[in-house]
Structure 1
Amino acid sequence: MTNFLYLPGWEVTDVQDRASEYRATAAYTPEPDVCPKCGTLGELYRHGVKVTDYRDAPVHGKQVLIEVRRRRYRCRACGGTFLQGLPDMDDTHRMTARCAEYVRQQSLLKPFTHVANDLGINEKTVRLIAREHIAAMNAAHRPYAPRVLGIDELTLLGKRRGIFVDIEGKRPLDLLEDHSRPVVTQWLHRLPHRHRVQVVSIDMWRPYRDAAADVLPQAVVVIDKFHVIRMANDAMETVRKSLQRSMQDKSRRASKRNRYLLLRRPPKLRPDQAFALDGWLKNAPDLADAYEAKENFFGIYDATTREDAEAAYAMWLETLTPGLKVAFKPLITSMTNWRKEIFAYFDHRVTNAYTEAVNGIVKIANRTGRGYSFDVIRARLLFGTRKPVDLLSQCPVCSRLHDPGDHIMPEGMLFILDGMDEDPPAPNLMVICSECNRFHTDRWFRSDHVSTPKSE
């Protein structure tokens, strides 16, 4: 019979193709010649068979169960008995070694229950394998010092967490259980070759600035510009909300519903939206002044040099009326307290946009399942993938999530919509993951093959 398992040294005697499962009966043919208990050579003889079920990685989108007829041996010299060794099996979890590797990879990308359903095993087994895998990867994880370091925080599992990223390399470096100054300072102290860091991008959180000054004195701290311009939007919103309180219900609802017109930059407005905004501002002069002040502040970031930006800010500050200075007071105060770091942007042009994107990835990873611990979420960020789940490809055969670059066009078994024999155009090809390629080649159906690329 064709080697269904495609593993070296295995003889498959029966394969049953069921609705949602393949059930194979197999035996491992190599026999031992040395007693593992006494070390005697050539004194072994067969002493019965033990039947054990092992799970394998999915094939054709179906679960795979292998009924292994495992031989038992007795030693004539010492009288000891032992079971035949199975190098391709993980006896601890009663599955093949490649199935255990499948669990390790997919548990960092998919909910544990989904992985368990793909294999037909208990969710607890997936959780235990994932926990062992995460512990091993954490022990080997060594963050590196990037040229541009991004530091931010996010709320996860009801607590504020610190996050570090390589902004230029677009890679997450670490996720900390806390974002306090002692924790951040300790992490920076342990960072290998931290002298390589030249720029640190942060929001206006003083512990980050103090920690960077203590541990990375050579680095320039830059305040993320989006946190600054957001304060200008908030100031304008303060004016809008104060005017909204004196409106009738219908007008108040319209003001709240159309506030996005005020927040959107003029070049991004459609003609009808620009017309509606113009009519709104003509009927609300105080709001029009706040809107103009907000847009003028945004224009500061169009400056090409730091000197031009500082001059533009000074001019903007002089044009504010006393009423607008009250509304924009939080922004003005921040510009005073963080002036050096805010205007450092015009020397280095660094933002924390990628850091904020990583924050979103972490939140997506948390939402894909329930009851995840901090360690699991951290591992999914650091070791699972650099891409959000919605940017991964899903194999149409085994449902495995994988990087779009990790795929193989099936050899000799091109899936053709119209029954054509020649190579079809690209839209008619089924793109499968590299793991499934072994089950979709002409070679796999030939009995002279005894191993898979992975086994080799």
Structure 2
Amino acid sequence: MNEETRPEPEFSVFDPQRFLGLDEMGLRVLSWRRLGRPDGPGLRQIRCEPDSHDARWCPSCGAYARVRSSWLRTLAHVPYGDDAVHLLVRVRRYECVPCSRSWSDDLEAVGAGRGVLSVPAVMWALRRVCLDSMTVSACARLLHVAWAVVDRAVRERGMLLLEQADRFSSVRAIGVDEHVWRHGAFGDRYVTVIVDLTPRCDGRPARLLDMVPGRSAQVLREWMQARGGEFTRRVGVVAMDAFAGWKQAVESVVPHAVEVIDPFHVVQLAAARVTKVRCRLQRDATGRRGVKGDRLYDCRRALLTSDEYLGARGRARLMALFAIQANRDLMLAHDAYQRVIHAYRCDDRRRGERMMRELIDDLTGPGRYKGCRELASLGRVLKRRMRDILALFRHPRSSNGPTEAINGRLETLRGNAMGFANTTSYIQRCLIHSSQLKDILTH
């Protein structure tokens, strides 16, 4: 692909104002000094003042005002190597004698409001937290400011950019899952995670769309209703686990959407039945839980391993285990578990759908699986959600796997931050970490 070559910028005389980006902020450097050890990180203080004198003209009468007083405002700027950079800006207060009014230099382009960080420093911290997964404490240490200053600035700026991006306008497929944001004995521990699966249709990764405190049908229902009628009409696919609350919310708000149960949860249901059968047979045979040396206990991992990854030793152990007549139910549960895996791994989607349909019919019919109560329970669950399970084969790239992957990334975020104090802060940091903000900052 031919691309237009951009001309390289020419070299010019070194200008500290341009080097630090102070010219874009309308500041003029007066002097500087460095504090700290020569062989370690330090602090570079730069004294500067507004370069424009337009503020001296009275906005009412247009007279040339006099400088009544001035003070220094300290702003943390983008670090220079390992050294923090602080701007000591001389802010002048002007007075118009004929109008009897006073005003100060406008520093909104330097630092918003009464903030401690300069505008470039806020964007630097946001990029480090969002793109490099740097912790807020590490950013605060490099900037030589308090942790709360960086945390508040990053969250405010990040949420502002997300609101301006209108991240809900092009959503056609979503994934829903629960997530534990805080491990404790008291208080609400769960949030509902909503992931935008639409980019997967174009071969791009999914992105975190939103998070809502709580996990119930009402929580998801209220969230979808709050998005408006245009959003609900546009959503055509909703991926979820087997939790009945998600299904109730989707059917009440977006009844036209296709509900898809993720393969991970279907395989997990089948694996849980294998474990239940093994534990029941272990108790029936020994009257206790399994311990090392018991054949059923020693084969627990081999029972949950796919046939494709099972070695010769594992196959021999399973064959010896299934040769015992008392373990017939375990052999049937293992067979059903492997059939679920093979159906999802089949390259031909139509054939995979047929394999899954035949398995559900066998589990609920009078076939060879009859008599095992664990498999009867599995058959009832799969039969009840049969349409949602088979929908995956007719709607490619609608798996809820990206939602599970984002959940794992959020676990890493919480570990790096060593926990969060409240739900609001956690949700905002998660949106900064795994949402559309990465694309906004890099394009």
Of 16, 22, 36 in structure 2, the residue corresponding to residue 7 of structure 1 is: 22
The Cα of 1:319 is off from its aligned counterpart by 4.1
Distance in 1 separating the partners of 2:148 and 2:171: 38
Give the RMSD, CA atoms, in angstroms: 3.5
Distance 2:168 2:421 in 1: 23
Does residue 121 of the first structure (1) align with residue 132 of the second (2)?
Answer: no
Return the offset for 1:37: 6.0
Cα distance in 1, alignment partners of residues 362 and 52 from structure 2: 87
Structure 1 equivalent of residue 402 of structure 2: 354
Partner of 1:262: 303
User: Counterpart in 1 of 2:8?
Assistant: none
What corresponds to 1:447 in structure 2?
none
Q: State the alpha-carbon separation in 1 of the partners of residues 216 and 173 from structure 2.
A: 21
Give 2:224's aligned residue.
Answer: 188
> Secondary structure in 2 aligned to 1:93?
coil
The one-letter code of the counterpart of 1:184 is L
SS of equivalent to 1:204:
coil
Please list every run of 5 or more consecutive structure 2 residues that lacks an aligned counterpart in the other structure. Answer: 1-13, 183-187, 200-205
Contact map agreement 1:45 1:73 (CA 8 A) in 2: yes
> For this pair of structures, how many residues does the alignment match?
391
Check conservation: 1:12, 1:25, Cα contact below 8 A. yes
Range that drifts further, 212-221 or 141-150? 141-150
What is residue 172 of structure 2 aligned with on the other side? 147
Alignment-derived partner of residue 269 in structure 2:
231
Q: Report the Cα distance in structure 1 between the residues aligned to 2:331 and 2:158, rounded to whole angstroms.
A: 55
Give me the whole-angstrom Cα distance separating, in 2, the residues matched to 1:34 and 1:250. Answer: 82
- Residues 215-251 of structure 1: CA deviation (Å, up to 9, x unaligned): 2232222222222221111111112222334457432
CA shift for structure 1 position 195 = 2.3
Going from structure 1 to structure 2, the CA distance change for 1:381 and 1:288 (only over 3 Å counts) comes to same
Letter in 2 for 1:367: G
**Structure 1 residue aligned with 2:244:** 206
Tell me what 2:391 maps to. Answer: 344
Cα distance in 1 for partners of 2:85, 2:55 equals 32
Query: What residue identity is the alignment partner of 2:270?
Result: A
Residues 185 and 353 of structure 1: is their aligned pair in 2 closer, same or farther, counting only changes over 3 Å?
Answer: same
Residue aligned with 2:425, SS = helix
The alpha carbon displacement at 1:265 in A equals 0.4
| Residue equivalent to 1:320 | 368
Cα distance, 1:146–1:40 mapped onto 2, change above 3 Å = closer
**Aligned match of 2:123:** 101
Change beyond 3 A, Cα 1:385–1:326? closer
Could you state the TM-score of these two structures normalised by the residue count of structure 2? 0.75
Secondary structure, counterpart of 1:95 in structure 2:
coil
In 2: Cα distance, 1:227 partner to 1:93 partner:
47
Distance (Å, rounded) in 1 between the aligned partners of 2:291 and 2:163: 60
Higher relative contact order (Cα pairs below 8 Å, separated by 6+ residues) = 1
**What is the alpha-carbon distance in structure 1 between the residues aligned to residue 231 and residue 101 of structure 2?**
56
Equivalent-residue separation in structure 1 for 2:62 and 2:134 (angstroms): 48
Partners of 1:296 and 1:72 in 2: CA distance:
78
| Residues 155 and 429, structure 2, Cα contact 8 Å, conserved in 1 | no
1:64 maps to which of 68, 85, 110: 85
The structure 2 residue matched to 1:163, chosen from 183, 189, 193, is: 193
Deviation (angstroms), 1:307: 4.7
Q: What do the CA deviations read for 1:141-166 (whole angstroms, capped 9, x no partner)?
A: 55246333222222323433222222
Structure 1 residue 188 displacement after superposition? 2.4
Change (3 A) 1:122 1:266: same
Q: Is the 8 A contact 1:297 1:313 kept in 2?
A: no
TM-score of the superposition, structure 1-length normalised? 0.73
Query: Does the residue aligned with 2:246 lie in a helix, a strand or coil?
Result: helix
Instruction: List aligned pairs for 1:385-396, cutoff 5 A.
Output: 385-386=434-435
In 1, the alpha carbon distance for the partners of 2:51 and 2:384 equals: 75
5+ residue gaps, structure 1, are 389-401, 408-456
Does the aligned pair in 1 maintain the 2:260–2:392 contact within 8 Å? yes
Change (3 A) 1:36 1:43: closer
Give the deviation of 1:29 after TM superposition: 5.4
Q: Are 1:292 and 2:335 counterparts? A: yes
Over 3 Å counting, the alpha-carbon distance change for 1:174 and 1:251 in structure 2 is same
User: Partner amino acid for 1:162?
Assistant: T
